Structure 1
């Protein structure tokens, strides 16, 4: 176990991102000097300015929460998706290696095709069905090709949490405005609360973990089940109708099943992630309490 107090961390996406802001908060709780950055602070794709920044700051940890996450739009903007999801991680990986810093890079359940019917482990075969998933996988593989052992890749999924609009918040807004909603029921994944993900990420840091880890809240849900739980917990009177994915045609194919197995994380940290239902209630009653 390493001591984090007094260490310095740079968080790309830390000042504006859904995950980045929670990570920044969690790092500060652990007495880490956290420097949250947005793309307005410097151009992360400009290797020269990025290099100059890291040489000036000399961080112990580099967190990359920046990604091109517009899944459907990525089908038409392959180059933009590739730049953020593949090129940027490689730039950061090389810098981490040069400066002997640890890189923590976040990836996605979309690296899988969804054909499995039991939770995916870190060693399961990848087979992304979308440009988004393919560029994220490419980023993972190219990072591993750098052959620098101090890289931690965290696959996560279905994020919700404070600081930024997300699926749960949008659904609650729609539920207040409408008498009924139609929500997709045939995509199943791992809803994940960003403060929990941040806490579990810090646990992996303390355990000096490297390589690929799945980190999500326990349990599984469809989008319909997640929406229903949120609406019921919020006490909103809105009828939910389950519908198939085909009711909402989209450019990008999504995995129908992408639940992630966290047993490797538990083995290394001794922590069993709490259920997404518990986490959702914290989100609703603590983070969104003013909305009720």
Structure 2
């Protein structure tokens, strides 16, 4: 029996408990990477010396950072904590990776864009975040670049859903099971993305060794209302899903009205198009139903 050639050695920060970290750990292992998933208690990501030791001890070729401040509305009042996790942390990780000659794979967001386009955002489009969350994530991207790190992949993604942790689709299904009607915002348009898909793209992209910023999201686009309606339909629930404007669902942080991400660069790099978000949602709903049986 021939041995499989190892693709690399990856440490995944947040790999044991995270919405993305857990499927990412599995996808990397399936792709041929040796993987060490961690929690924040096992390896403090802010302890640069500890991270450097971990990279050396594991002979790591890649460091994946899935740790972030993602509470979009809370960030408006918790600016210091948002910037500490979303800017300062990736800066420190980039320095550690530079010294270890490892690639840093870091996740960013569609919220770095203003949302005033009518066609999908490319990696070259001007940024213009209008929330603390988006600004802190953009600051994290810039901090990585400013360290001079040569081996990096920054993956901007959006509207994540997947097994194991709280997410929008799971919340909608829980509400729809007990209500006759749900009113969901219909004038914010984005790119719903499965964490399982994102994990797979990440592993494939890491294996290419190509550095840069990549948009990694499900194909197509949807409003929050359309995403909710598709999930409810897939689950066979009788709940009505009604579209409302953002003005009827006020939130502290301003969301982009349109933040669809173009995945042409990702597709050209890994050799395949991301699957449509509708298919990913249906698979997620069906898999949740089977796990509940």
TM-score class normalised by the smaller sequence: over 0.9
In the TM superposition, what whole-angstrom CA distance separates every residue of 1:167-190 from its partner, at most 9, and x where no partner exists? 101100000011111101011000
The reply to whether residue 149 of structure 1 matches residue 175 of structure 2 is no
| Residues 7, 207 of structure 2: 8 Å contact kept | no
Q: Secondary structure at the match of 1:74?
A: helix
In the TM superposition, what whole-angstrom CA distance separates every residue of 1:191-237 from its partner, at most 9, and x where no partner exists? 00111111111221222221100011100000000000000110001
Match of 1:176 in 2: 177
Q: Distance in 1 between matches of 2:224 and 2:200?
A: 24
5+ residue gaps, structure 2, are none
Q: Distance in 2 between matches of 1:195 and 1:88?
A: 25
Q: CA RMSD in A?
A: 1.4
| Residues 10, 62 of structure 1: 8 Å contact kept | yes
| Residues 188, 256 of structure 2: 8 Å contact kept | yes
TM-score between the two structures when normalised by the length of structure 2: 0.95
5+ residue gaps, structure 1, are none
CA displacement at 1:6 relative to structure 2: 5.8
Correspondences of 1:104-183 after superposition (within 5 Å): 104-183=105-184
Q: Distance in 1 between matches of 2:101 and 2:68?
A: 23
CA displacement at 1:288 relative to structure 2: 3.8
The reply to whether residue 36 of structure 1 matches residue 22 of structure 2 is no
Q: Distance in 1 between matches of 2:292 and 2:220?
A: 26
| Residues 31, 204 of structure 2: 8 Å contact kept | no
TM-score between the two structures when normalised by the length of structure 1: 0.96
| Residues 45, 83 of structure 1: 8 Å contact kept | no
Q: Distance in 1 between matches of 2:221 and 2:7?
A: 37
| Residues 4, 206 of structure 1: 8 Å contact kept | no
Match of 1:195 in 2: 196
Q: Secondary structure at the match of 1:115?
A: coil
CA displacement at 1:35 relative to structure 2: 1.1
Q: Secondary structure at the match of 1:240?
A: strand
Q: Distance in 1 between matches of 2:64 and 2:163?
A: 19
Match of 1:266 in 2: 267
Q: Distance in 1 between matches of 2:50 and 2:94?
A: 15
CA separation of 1:237 and 1:4: change in aligned 2, threshold 3 A: farther
| Residues 52, 100 of structure 2: 8 Å contact kept | no
Q: Secondary structure at the match of 2:91?
A: helix
Q: Distance in 2 between matches of 1:14 and 1:248?
A: 34
Aligned structure 1 segments of 4 or more residues deviating by more than 6 angstroms: none
CA displacement at 1:246 relative to structure 2: 1.3
Q: Secondary structure at the match of 1:105?
A: strand
Q: Distance in 2 between matches of 1:253 and 1:131?
A: 9
In the TM superposition, what whole-angstrom CA distance separates every residue of 1:71-119 from its partner, at most 9, and x where no partner exists? 1110111110011100110111111110011110000000001011110
CA displacement at 1:267 relative to structure 2: 1.7
CA displacement at 1:31 relative to structure 2: 2.6
Match of 1:253 in 2: 254
The reply to whether residue 52 of structure 1 matches residue 59 of structure 2 is no
CA displacement at 1:58 relative to structure 2: 2.8
In the TM superposition, what whole-angstrom CA distance separates every residue of 1:151-170 from its partner, at most 9, and x where no partner exists? 00000000011121211011
Q: Secondary structure at the match of 1:26?
A: helix
Q: Distance in 2 between matches of 1:287 and 1:152?
A: 31
Q: Distance in 2 between matches of 1:42 and 1:266?
A: 33
Match of 1:22 in 2: 23
Q: Distance in 1 between matches of 2:103 and 2:91?
A: 13
Match of 2:277 in 1: 276
